[in-house]
Amino acid sequence: MQYTQTAKKLTAEEKLRLLVSFGTRISSEIRLDHLLNSIARQIAQILDVGRCIIFLIDPDREELWSKIAQGKGLAYTEIRMPLTTKGIISHVAKTGETINLQNAYEDPRFSMAIDMVTDFRTHSLLAVPLKNNTGKVLGVFQVANKADDLPFDRNDEGILLLLSTLASSSIEIATLYQELYGAQLETLYRLAITAEYRDQQDTRSHLKNISIISFLLAGTLGMPKHEAEIIKNASTLHDIGKVALADNILLKPGKLTPEEFEKMKEHTIYGGKILEGAKSKILQVAYKMSMYHHEKWNGKGYPKGLKGEEIPLEARIVTVADVFDALCQFRVYKDAWKTQDAYEYMLKESGHSFDPRVVAAFKKIYPAIRKLYSHIPVNQMTGPFPGDENIPTENTVIRMTQQD
Ligand code: C2E
Ligand code: SIN
Ligand code: SIN
Ligand code: FE
């Protein structure tokens, strides 16, 4: 994670105040990306340097990684290099030693790769290990280009080591939290696949489309990003109740009889039973979605015939995503519709099947949706969150090798 210093010069007193508040500020942040950003920003201010990059060791892959902003408006790019690389960073990570260079380009171990990617010219460079309280190296803090072109001195080394020690437990906690959260999402996603794979050719794209549309709808409706993220992750489970349906109904290649359709409707009740009383926030939202995603705004849906705002908003959102995607995809009982026809159907059903506010939001995001369905990579799409131009799906990863 890097931060490039652009702020004004600070007085010694201001620096001291920053140093004192450093621990308090970082201990309140549990999201790893935000934490690393905050640490890098504060270090750049306290040490008055042109750039601060934090590398962490990924023990599973035996790599060092960081996120680098490539320029204004561009997404963070993940940089990864094997621990065995012959560079400054990997040397510090392997040995736990500090490296202090007055002119980085004169040192044969220095790699220009990151400078090239970020359009930055490193002069002085200081890299210290990030160690936890048992002395294990977790990563590397690297700062470059001290103000006034001075070399880094003993004092700077001491401060950077102190800051890395202060930051280490927060970084360890945030890393653990991220791993747990990732494991939870993976479990939910695999559960969602279980529910969908019997009746769908392309389960992955169905789940991906539904979660992206739901996320964009939530953001456009003004929900804060963390709530939109919950909606995104919960939406994949809306049809979990289908696991309880018999093959002769779910996989019937033609139209269902009225009796069969009554059985089909029960997937909402089954989903509700599976998720009822859940403790986690994502599963609580998934409960509302699976129970009520076939209710209609006009009260003619199922299982309860709820009307208008009696239907939870989360369910009104996922309905729009689900029906649009179902129309666009092939099913054993129907052909895929043209995207434009499906779009027109959504507009026509505003105020009948669907909440007019959600359809209005769908109309706004439709340019992005059309791209999604024409297989343009999603990370080139524009999201609805101000200042967040990219939908965080696939990260760009730059790999650095020995030769770099
Ligand atoms: P699904 O295939 O995922 O479809 C979800 C929802 O998308 C449907 O909910 C419906 O609101 C909408 N939808 C899908 N295809 C069409 C279509 O061709 N025309 C229109 N107007 N809307 C469409 P619905 O109807 O409550 O159905 C729920 C689930 O029941 C469907 O999920 C599907 O698994 C099953 N199903 C519905 N009709 C049939 C059928 O005729 N044959 C079979 N084998 N299954 C059906
Ligand atoms: C990891 O590789 O351990 C995490 C990478 C990330 O945060 O993107
Ligand atoms: C309506 O009943 O008003 C229209 C809803 C639908 O066609 O499903
Ligand atoms: Fe359903």
Homologous superfamily, domain 197-373: Hypothetical protein af1432 (1.10.3210.10)
Q: What are phi and psi of 236, to 5 degrees?
A: -65, -20
What is the position in ligand 1's atom list of the atom closest to the CA of 332?
44
Q: What are phi and psi of 232, to 5 degrees?
A: -60, -45
> In angstroms, what CA-CA distances link 262 with 193, 257, 283, 303?
24, 9, 26, 10
275, two tokens: 């998720």
pLDDT of residue 8: 64
pLDDT tens digit at each of 404 positions of the chain: 677 765 567 788 887 888 888 988 888 888 898 899 999 999 998 999 989 999 999 999 999 999 876 554 445 778 889 999 889 999 999 999 999 999 999 999 998 888 887 888 999 999 999 999 899 999 999 999 998 889 999 999 999 999 999 999 999 999 999 999 989 999 999 899 888 888 776 778 889 999 999 999 999 999 999 999 999 999 999 999 999 999 999 989 889 999 999 999 999 999 999 999 999 999 999 999 999 999 999 999 999 999 999 999 999 999 999 999 999 998 888 999 999 999 999 999 999 999 999 999 999 999 999 988 886 544 444 443 333 333 333 446 777 765 44
Q: How far apart (Å, rounded) are the C-alpha atoms in residues 289 and 188?
A: 14
DSSP SS3 for 20: helix
- Quick check: bond before 303 cis, omega within 30? yes
Q: How far apart (Å, rounded) are the C-alpha atoms in residues 158 and 176?
A: 28
Give, in degrees to the nearest 5, the angle at Cα 338 between 337 and 342.
Answer: 70
pLDDT of residue 201: 67
Does residue 331 have its Cβ closer than 6 Å to ligand 3?
A: no
Tokens 């359709």 belong to 261
Q: How far apart (Å, rounded) are the C-alpha atoms in residues 125 and 35?
A: 23
Q: Break the chain into its structural domains and give their ranges.
A: 2-176, 197-373
Task: Kindly list the protein residues whose Cβ atom lies closer than 6 A to any atom of ligand 2.
Answer: 32, 58, 65, 78
Least distant ligand from the CA of 210: 1
Nearest CA to ligand 2 atom 8: 78
Does residue 98 have its Cβ closer than 6 Å to ligand 3?
A: no
Does the domain made of 2-176 have the CATH classification 3.40.309.10? no
